[in-house]
Amino acid sequence: MNVERDTVSLGSFEFESGETIPELEVAYEAYGEFDGDNAVLVCHALTGSQHVAGQHEESGTAGQARAWWDDIVGPGKAIDTTEYYVLCANVPGSCYGTTGPSSINPETGEPYATDFPAVTVGDWTEAQRGLLDELGIPHLHAAVGGSVGGMNVLEWAKRHPDHVRRIIPIGAAARLDPQVLALDAIARRAITTDPNWNGGDYYGEDHPGPEYGLGLARQLGHIMYLSKASMERKFGRRSAGRDAARWFPEDPAASFFPYRDVESYLDYQAEQFVDRFDANSYLYLTRAMDSYDLSAGFEDDADALAAFDGEALLMSFTADWHFTPAQAEALAESMREAGVDVAHHVVDSDHGHDAFLVEPENVGPPLASFLADGVDGTAVTDTADDVDEESQYAPVHTSLFSD
């Protein structure tokens, strides 16, 4: 697989907030060969990177060694790099090569820290459009993304409706609900109340950084990404092994009680995460996700998508309470109202929000069919009559998912 890894400077960049930085660098990876009409943009999720597929010969893309969607992107896979030119760009505000809070401000010679402008999903989209312009890619065959990456995809249809033919938001919605907003707020407060956050100025050898705060934020995230059924299956109430080491400080009484598998898992995830991600970036990116509203600037969601005359495939997962099937169906209904040719496919899964990452056998077939043939040639069930508006569950099955 032909892989291109590079960083492109877009020069001075103005954010939606009205603030400007002198130079925005965008890190990206691209796979396959561009033939003028086969570009597929993959939009990564919250803490993902541009390293979407393949092997990285060094320690990983800016710290993320494992390609996050390698089961979906590659030769002969659902997003086939022998057919499509696949591009993934790290978003502004992140810490994997694109300019963000941990980047050096050329005007001061110091990290931006919290002087970095607030970022929005719209800013991500405009940075991606700028990157495509630099690479000589006038339009997209498709844009696909999961979670907040799906919101990024929706913003492409809203801002650049003439430049993308097909969109595939997976495990996404037009906006977050209050429960998720509340949990994200707690995650941010875990970071900003860590004494080592130091007002965001923790860069350099003399500052350890808010490791416990960032670790707690990551643990909350993992709980949101899993379902009750998947947590019961993975952990139950089992105690961790004798060799399991606690990462967080514990109260004196803790030694009397079992240290459970689920605690050990969360501690491991936190410890690994703080080694690869920046706390300020976590604050910036969750703010961008929480503030996203497809209808902003328009009367409603349908009005926001009225100019898009392409096709859409929405995918949701029955046990996902972060972005529910009911939210996806509301989005699909807005698309129908706007005249968009859309299919909404609900995957029967108990994995929760993580299903779009861990179930390639369910995500891949409808995705591949839609990329090749659009809605008419895609063997998925349009769920307009199947999603119960009073419930997040929609038990829809198709032959694609039979054993």
Kindly list the catalytic residues.
147, 320, 353
Give me the count of residues in the chain. 403
| Residues 70, 83: Cα–Cα separation, whole Å | 16
| Tokens linked to 287 | 């703010």
| Residues 144, 217: Cα–Cα separation, whole Å | 26
| Residues 323, 353: Cα–Cα separation, whole Å | 7
Among residues 285, 164, 161, 147, the alpha carbon closest in space to that of 214 is found at 285
| Residues 390, 396: Cα–Cα separation, whole Å | 16
| Tokens linked to 322 | 């972060």
Exposed, middle or buried by CB within 10 Å (0-12, 13-18, 19+), for 186?
exposed
| Residues 60, 57: Cα–Cα separation, whole Å | 7
Q: Identity (one letter) of the amino acid at 8?
A: V
- The full DSSP string for 360-381 is HHHHHHHHHHHHHHTTTT----
Neighbouring C-beta atoms of residue 151, cutoff 10 Å: 26
Neighbouring C-beta atoms of residue 130, cutoff 10 Å: 18
Among residues 335, 339, 345, the alpha carbon closest in space to that of 300 is found at 335
| Tokens linked to 156 | 């492409």
Map tokens 């416990």 to a residue: 212
Under 8 Å between Cβ of 116 and 203:
no
